[in-house]
Amino acid sequence: MQLGPAMGAVFTSPSEGQAAAVEQVHENLRLVERELREGAFAGRRFFGGDKIGVLDIVLGCGSYWLAVFEDVMEVKLVDPEAFPLFHSWLWDFEQQEEVTAIIPAIDRLLEYARGIRQMMLGLSPQQQ
């Protein structure tokens, strides 16, 4: 699975490369969705079972950025209809007290991501 690099490609791609980068993310999410539906993690609340485990932390902290990238890049990455189990897992993960206590508020992440995107593309805020 290459979800991290695929997410990075969405964030760094110019608009003409956006569709291919989004498809990379979707390919990876299909793998996760299949594993949640039919694989070793089927029927579990979290990858670690009833409690958050290491895989939940790794995947969840990275996946938290998906909503940020959706907003900044104006693309749809996590469609609840296409990835219902992943969407449900991510929402549940994000609601956990230990997660909300350490992950910054979405507005702070959006501000940060917009600034980085502008720097990467060499755009002024008016050009974006």
The first and second tokens of residue 69, run together, are: 């990238």
Calculate ∠ Cα 118-121-123, nearest 5°: 55
Query: pTM, whole model, 2 decimals?
Result: 0.84
Q: Mean of the pLDDT values across residues 6-15?
A: 84
Show the domains of the chain with their CATH numbers: 3-121 (1.20.1050.10)
pLDDT of 33: 96
Tens digits of residue pLDDT in 104-115: 888 899 999 999
Q: Mean of the pLDDT values across residues 75-96?
A: 94
Q: Where are the alpha helices (DSSP H) in the chain?
A: 3-12, 18-38, 54-73, 84-95, 97-100, 106-121
Contact 32, 86 (CB under 8 A): yes
The first and second tokens of residue 78, run together, are: 């996590």
pLDDT of 120: 80
Half-sphere exposure of 103 (CA within 13 A, CB side): 21
Among candidate residues 49, 14, 50, 47, the one with its CA nearest the CA of residue 32? 47
12 vs 42, higher pLDDT: 42
